[in-house]
Each structure stands twice: as structure tokens, then as C-alpha cells.
Chain A
Amino acid sequence: MSASLVKRLFASLLTALLASLLVFLLMRSVPGDVVSQMMGQAGGDTAENALRQFFGLDQPVYMQYFNWLLQVLQGDLGTSWTRGVPVTEMVGKAFLVTLEIGVITLLVATLVGVPLGIIAAINEGKPLDTLIQSFNILGLSAPVFWTGLMLLVGVSSVLSWSPPLRFVPPSQSLSTNLEILVLPILSLGLLQAAAYSQFVRQNVVSAMHQEYVRTAIAKGVPVRLVFFKHILRNVLIPIVTFMGLILIQILGGVVIIESLFALPGLGRLLLSAIETRDYPVVQGALLIVVATAMVVNLAVDLTYRMIDPRVRES
């Protein structure tokens, strides 16, 4: 087991390295750099060259990459070119915001989506099933910016309330933090709960039609026992996979919700860094996204081992 883990880790590192190289080259192939952004329509060649030298942009690209990599290996992601703040600090703060949104959304989606999916599956073909499936389809087809905006507009006109604008971490004030996050999490959670519920329903339904289930019931095993011991156990693996996918999806894709609700998360940080061509921040932030995706995947793998003895043995 440990050998396969080492293999996995090694593959992950290689992927991270390749991803960082790709990001590095892609960013530099987009026209315009931080210096032309800073200069706008003003400035002159001497001033521009002086700034390019300051940022090390006058060096060949491979040298820039090599220097950056060397820095990263020493645990230093560099300094933001536009903010003058260490990238680790900027990305760290933004990551915590996004992680909080991601984890709570996942929790909400699981607590709502899984029971809904199971209830729908048990009532397959009945009105309750149709009702839950309607919710699923609605949730899946409504784009998240629309849901977010509708929630914001709706709550504002009914309660004359909108979330505070300046983000406060839970360590500072849990109540303000939740006040800020309740609408964004609801917008994301609704969508993910619908996806979750649909997914769980399908898996449970297909498990219920398996022959071993029919056999067990024919043999007189109590239905409740069949359900919890056989069916649920079998759908746990796809559910765990799905949780991992959702978390990764949220971490990489909440930029719209972050913009709508003024949340200083990773998505917005990345977007603004791309716009201002702040290479160290883009590279640092994406490295963190890639690393997180890998950790989540690894965690999902490890969970498989706990749930399914066959994975452990192989």
C-alpha cells in the first residue's frame, strides 16, 4: 500500500510541475505584461525597460521559470507585482475564504442532497419522486449567477437586507462571517444539492434493481437491513467520489459568486491577477489550486480503502 502511495505522490508532483510550466508559458503568451498595465498610455521606453528589469521580465523565459521554481522549492512563492505583498500571504488568505465556502457548501449539499436522493429512490415513480426530481432539474439548470442574484434581489426586497460588504473571517466574528456567507452558500448549495440528489437517486435506484438485492429480499432478509447493509454500502463509493469532485469544482469555480457577493476568495484573486498580469500571484494561486485538487483526490482514494476492502487488497 505504501509503495502505491509513494507512486501516487510522485505522479502528483510531476503533474504539479507540468501544470506550473503550462501556466507559466500560457501567462507569458498573453499579450501585455504588468509593465504595460502600469504605464497605460503614458510612459516611455526607458521607464518601461527599467520596470521590466525590476520585475526580472528582461530575462529569457526559461531563466524566469527556473528562478521561480527554485524559489518555490524553498517555500517562497514570491511577491505580488501589483500589491507588493508576499504571494503566500495573499493566496493563503484568499484560499481560506474559498475553502470555508467550499466546505460549508459541501456540507449543506450533502445534508440536503443525499437524503433527498434516497427518499426519491425509495419512492421511485411515485409523486414524491417526481417532486424531488423537479427540484433537481430546476437546481441543475439554473446558472449559479442567476440563483445568486435572484436570492440577493429577493432577500433585499422582502427583508430590506443585504450581506455586509467587507469580509470578516470566522475567527474575528462568527456571526458576521455567517451573515456574509449565508446567501453565497445557499446559491451554491442549492445547485450542488440538486446535482447530489440526482446522482444519489440514480445510484440507489440502480442498486435496488441488482439481482443480489432481489435475492436478499426473496430470501426474507428484512428490507431495512438490505437497504442499509447492501445498497447504501455500495453507493458510498460513488458518493465519496462525487464529494471530491464537488469540492474541487467549488474551489476552482466560485469566481462568479465571489464577485457577486464581494468575497475576497481565490477565484477573484486569480481573475484580478490575470487582468493585471501579476504573474507571481497567478502562478502561486494556481499551484495551490492544483495541489488542493491532488490532496482531495488522495483523500478520496484513502476513503475508498476504508469503505471497500477490495481496494485495500488490490
Chain B
Amino acid sequence: MFLSHMFSRRGFLRSSLLGATMLGALASAAPALAQTNALYGPVAENPTMGGRLNMGLLVEPPGLDPFHQAADARIRVTVLMYQGLFYESPTGEAAPLLAESYTVSDDGLVYTIKLREGVVFHTGQPMTAKDVAYSYNYIRNAENGSPGAGDFSVVSDIVVKDDYTVEIKLSEPNASMPMTLGNKYGAIIPAGYFDDENAKNRMNSQSVGTGPFKLVEFAPNSHVILDKNADYWEKGMPYLDGIDFSILPNSASMLIALKNNRVDLVPLSRPQDVQQIEGVEGLTIERWPSLGQTAIDLGAETAPLDNVLVRQAISLATDKKEMMQASIGDFGTVLGTVPAGLQEKWGLPLDQVPMQGPDVEAAKAKLAEAGMADGFTLTLTTINGYDWMDPAAVTLREQLAKIDVTLDIQRVDLGVWIKNFRSKQMGLTFNDWATQPDPNLLFYRHFHMQPKGADFRNWNNAEASALLDDARASSNAEERAEIYTKFQKILAETVPTIMLFSPDHITVRRERVNNYSQHPTGWYYGLARTYLSE
């Protein structure tokens, strides 16, 4: 969820930066890769089989348990070992993965899912409906301590019809149910797996999923080794014999390792790192659209942020483009009310988004209307270790100074920040989060009133919550889009959050790496379709 990034126009934009010399020149990216909804990325036409890929990771997965660990660094890697019933295709559809097909009852309350046959777990056992029921029953029971439990709260029952058919019953209609059965939290694992009290720990040394790769070794602060799953259900996949992830937290060292052939593929997050390797022979830099977003959150729990006029004034005074330029240059897209990867399909057209800056006069008028024309002081919280936040914070301070709002910048550790966020005491803060390609999963939990949502920003907006309920219940895509448009207008008008920009995913690969595509979530699905040409 944290530290994911984004961008998009029509589906995937992919831009090769090889040979480019200036950041400015890099912004005019040329669309190249044909859009595909094939699982995990495009199938290669004439791949070379075998070989091991060395991938460098700047951020280490804190653990490899898909049921109890929410960190994005975990999901990026575990999607290669574990699978849910559906795959989050980049264009926003839930494509059947371990499911083969499904039907929905007329009232939208029963999903009957036909399962793929011939799927075998890494343990050698065949996958059947009872494993599916066990896995989802485990995750939806909050007593089992999964961060994904909340997403499954509308599931009322899971019924095994036969070995390869399962019925998922809902307490209320939920159009994003298939996407929820994707790969972010949980996965299909053998029934009864967690009965063993040591099972949670074992997930860090042995994978029990159905994915294209198996876990061989996870050594803290050093490496993660995956081998090809020889019994994988997709015939002829994956192409690689294995993947060796090397964990190297220092980007300067990582770039040197890349130059000297120690790694084949590295995801980068800082434009200054990209600049250092531009023009290096044998390296190809690519940019990918993202579902991540950087944002200013405005918690309404205390004055003056409880005053909608003040929040509107801040929104009007904010120059998103200038903030993006200051923190990541042109390596991203300025946002309206959804991450860039969702804009095309679900976003309120950018020219219709209200309260967009920079408009200093309008912002001052709002403050005058609130009786605060003389300005005031606010504390902005930023998180240590998020590189974009420091330049963005300083830029925002300059922007708000124009309406006589003084910004005190306070840097905190992630642990402190999460505590404030979860206890709904966030005040004015930067945020960095990502979503699956679905508006319900993006908005509902964050913005719906309690108790159904978490409403972290104390927005408490009944009208917006009703719209979120309607959109979730609607099975008609057009109607859903219309309702979400209304919702986004309210969101922009009353400003519980100001979505700033989506930083692109940037990958650097050596020439021998072929057919890697970066999924907009930032997860490494593309490795299941990658091959080496030497």
C-alpha cells in the first residue's frame, strides 16, 4: 500500500529513456507496448527458456506471509508465489486466475465460481474448492489477525458445491468482489495450513501457494531466492529457472552493481538515480504507469482543519505541478481525484475538478470568509525515508506562505505516522499510498463514515458515504462510473485529501532481460513473463 507509484493515458504507456540526455526530453514518452490483458503481462513470442535473473531490491520485504503482512514490499514479491482467484489486470478488470469462470446471481449476492482444474500447490497437493473455502474463511475471520479481513467483511458465507465449484455469499452487493479475491491479501493455500502453530513462521522459509515460482531461501538483509515451479498449471510458464533478489538498501551501490553486471533488473524510485545511469551502454531505462499516489491529507479532527473553508483555501493555494517538479521532476503525472492509472476509466475529468490551484486570490477569499484573513500556523507531518516529501514540503510551505499560512514541517518515523493515522489524529500530513485498479477499493475504506468505513480523515460526509454504498452495490459499469463522478466532485469540493501526483514506476534492465512489464500496482507480476536472451 505504501510507496507505490503511477501514471497513464491510454492503458500502458511505456517509454524507453535510453539515450535521452535531459530530464525534460524524457517527459515526452512514446507509447510502445501493445496493451494486453493477458495474465501477468504479454506472452513472449519466441522466448528462450531457462536461466536465473538477478533482481536488485532497494526495499526488503519485512516478511513473506501474504495473510498477515500488509507491506507493499511483501506483496511485490509474494504475487509470484501465491495466487488468488482473480488477477488485477492493469485496465481494471478482474481476470480469472485460479478461477476459471464465474456467475453472479441477479440480486448480486451470490458469486458462483468455477475453479481451474489441474492446479497443484507447491506442497504437491491438488487444489480443490475446500482449499478455496478454507483460505478465504481464514482471512475474513478478523480473529486470525489479517489486515485483509476488512475487505472481506461483506462475505457472509462460503459454500463448497463440489470439488471445483465454490459459492461466495455476500450480505450486500459488492461490484468489486472479484477484485477483492485478487492477490493483495491472502491467497489460496492448502486447507488446514494454519492449524500448525508454527505455520505463520514457516511462510518465510517455504511457500505453499500455486504461483509460478517457489521460495527457496529468504535471508534477512541479504537475498530472496525463488525457483521455477515445475508443476505450474500454465503450460510452458514461467520462462526463467529462477529469480535471485539481492537486497541492497543503498541506491548509489545499487547503480554501481547494475553497471558492473551484478544485477539484471532494478526498480528505481528517485529521478536523481535515473539521471546517473542515463546513457550507460547496455542499460535500458523504462517508465511505467502507476496506481500509487502522493497526497496531502487534511484530518478534520482539530481546528482550523475542521473548517471546510480552510481546507478549500489550502487546496486552492496548492500548486500540484510545482510540487511534483520539485520532488520527482517530470517522472510522474499530476492528479485530480484518482491515481493516474484510474483516471481514464473512473476519474472525474481533470477540467471539471473543483477547488484546484494555484489560485491565490480565491484561496485568500476563502480564508477571509472563514474569518482567518490574517493567516495562522499549521504543522505538516512528513515521513522519514520518503524522498519526495522533503522537497514537496518546502515547496508547499512557500505556496501557503502566499496566503499567510505558516507551515511548520515535522518529520516523523513511519511507526509514529501509522499510529497517528490509525488513531485518526493525522492533522495535516503527506501520504503515499496505492490501490488495486478499482474505485471501491480505492475509496470505500478510506472515505466512508464509520463504522462501515474507517474515515481516517474524520471527513464524516453522509452524502459521499451514501454514494460510495450505491456505487459498490451497482453492477452496471456505466452507472458506477456516474456515481463515482458525483462522489469525486464532493471529494474535491470539501477537501479531506488533496491528491498530488502519481510518480511513475521506473525500471532499469540489462539487455539480456526481455519481456518484463511493470504492473501499475508496482508488484513484480512481470517476472512470470520475463526471459533472458543469453
Chain A interface (Cβ < 8 Å from any Cβ of B): 30-33, 36-44, 46-48, 50-51, 54, 79, 82-85, 90, 94, 149, 152-153, 156, 160-162, 164-167, 258-262, 264-265, 268-269, 272, 275-277
- A149 and B220 within 8 A (CB): no
Nearest to B2 among chain A residues (CB) is A40
A interface footprint on B249-261 (CB within 8 Å = 1, 0 otherwise)? 1101100110110
Please tell me if B371 contacts chain A, counting CB pairs below 8 Å: no
Q: Which residues of B contact A90 (CB under 8 A)?
A: 220
Min CB gap B369→A, angstroms: 33
Rounded to whole angstroms, the CA-CA distance of A43 and B219 in the bound complex is: 27
Q: Say yes or no for B1: interface residue by CB 8 A criterion.
A: yes
Q: In the complex, what residue of chain A is closest to B262 when comparing beta carbons?
A: A165
**Which 3 A-B pairs rank lowest in CB-CB distance, beginning with the nearest?**
A32-B415, A84-B201, A46-B142
Chain A residues whose C-beta falls within 8 Å of the C-beta of B246 in the assembled complex: 165-166, 262
A selection of 20 A-B contacts at a CB cut-off of 8 Å is: A37-B414, A38-B68, A40-B1, A40-B2, A41-B1, A41-B2, A41-B70, A41-B418, A42-B70, A42-B445, A47-B143, A47-B144, A50-B145, A51-B145, A84-B63, A84-B200, A84-B205, A85-B201, A152-B253, A272-B220
Q: Is the CB of B201 within 8 A of A162?
A: no
Contact, CB under 8 Å: A165 / B145: no
Binds A, one of B146-154, B230-238, B493-501, B502-510: B146-154
Is A264 in contact with B62, judged by CB distance below 8 angstroms? no
Complex Cα spacing A161 to B256, Å: 9
Q: How far is the CB of A289 from chain B (nearest CB, A)?
A: 16
Q: Is the beta-carbon distance between A162 and B257 smaller than 8 angstroms? A: yes
The reply to whether A84 and B202 contact each other, CB–CB distance below 8 Å, is: yes
Known contacts A156-B260, A166-B222; A44 and B253 CB within 8 A of each other: no
- Asked whether A31 and B220 contact (CB < 8 A) given A42-B147, A165-B246, A262-B246, the answer is no
Chain B residues with CB under 8 A of A42:
1, 70, 147-148, 150-151, 185, 445
Chain A neighbourhood of B454, CB < 8 A: 44
Q: Bound state CA distance, A71 and B392, in angstroms?
A: 47
Say whether A50 contacts B143, CB under 8 Å. Answer: yes
Cβ-defined partner of A277 (8 Å) among B142, B262, B415? B415
> B65 — which chain A residues lie within 8 A by C-beta?
84
Whether B223 pairs with A166 at a CB distance below 8 angstroms is: yes
**B233-275: which residues lie under 8 A (CB-CB) from chain A?**
244, 246-250, 252-253, 256-257, 259-260, 262-263
A60 to B39 CA separation, bound complex (whole angstroms): 49
Given known A37-B62, A83-B204, A260-B253, contact A43–B222 (CB-CB < 8 A): no
- Contact status A47-B142, CB under 8 Å: yes
CB distance A43 to B415 under 8 Å?
no
Neighbouring B residues of A272 by C-beta, 8 Å: 60, 220-221
A30-B413, A31-B415, A84-B198 provided; 18 other pairs, C-beta below 8 A? A31-B416, A32-B415, A33-B415, A40-B71, A44-B454, A46-B142, A47-B147, A50-B142, A50-B145, A51-B68, A54-B145, A84-B202, A149-B252, A165-B257, A166-B244, A166-B246, A167-B222, A272-B221
- CB-CB under 8 A from B143, the residues of chain A are 46-47, 50
Residues of chain A within 8 A (CB-CB) of B456 are: 41
**Taking the complex as formed, is B69 at the interface, i.e. its CB lies under 8 A from any CB of chain A?**
yes
A43 touches B150 (CB 8 A): yes
The one of A47, A51, A261, A276 that contacts B62, using a Cβ cutoff of 8 Å: A276
Contacts of B244 in A (CB 8 A): 166
B168 at the interface (CB under 8 A from A): no
Tell me whether B422 is interfacial, beta carbon within 8 Å: yes
Are B418 and A43 in contact, CB atoms less than 8 angstroms apart?
Answer: no
Q: How far is the CB of A280 from chain B (nearest CB, A)?
A: 12
Would A82 and B223 count as touching, CB distance under 8 A? Answer: no
Give the complex CA separation of A84 and B64 in angstroms.
10
Instruction: Give A44 to B70 CA distance when docked, in angstroms.
Output: 12
Report chain A residues within 8 Å CB of B62.
37-38, 82, 276
- Residue B56 at the A interface, CB < 8 A? yes
The answer, yes or no, to whether B378 is at the interface (CB within 8 Å) is no
A57 to B22, CA, bound (A): 52
Known: A47-B144, A84-B201. A41 touches B262 (CB 8 A): no
Residue from B151, B185, B250, B419 within 8 A of A32 (CB atoms): B419
Across the two chains, which residue of chain A brings its CB closest to B454?
A44
Judge if B443 is at the interface, Cβ distance under 8 Å: no
Residues of B within 8 A of A39 (CB): 70, 147, 418, 422
- B248 & A32 in contact (Cβ 8 Å cutoff): no
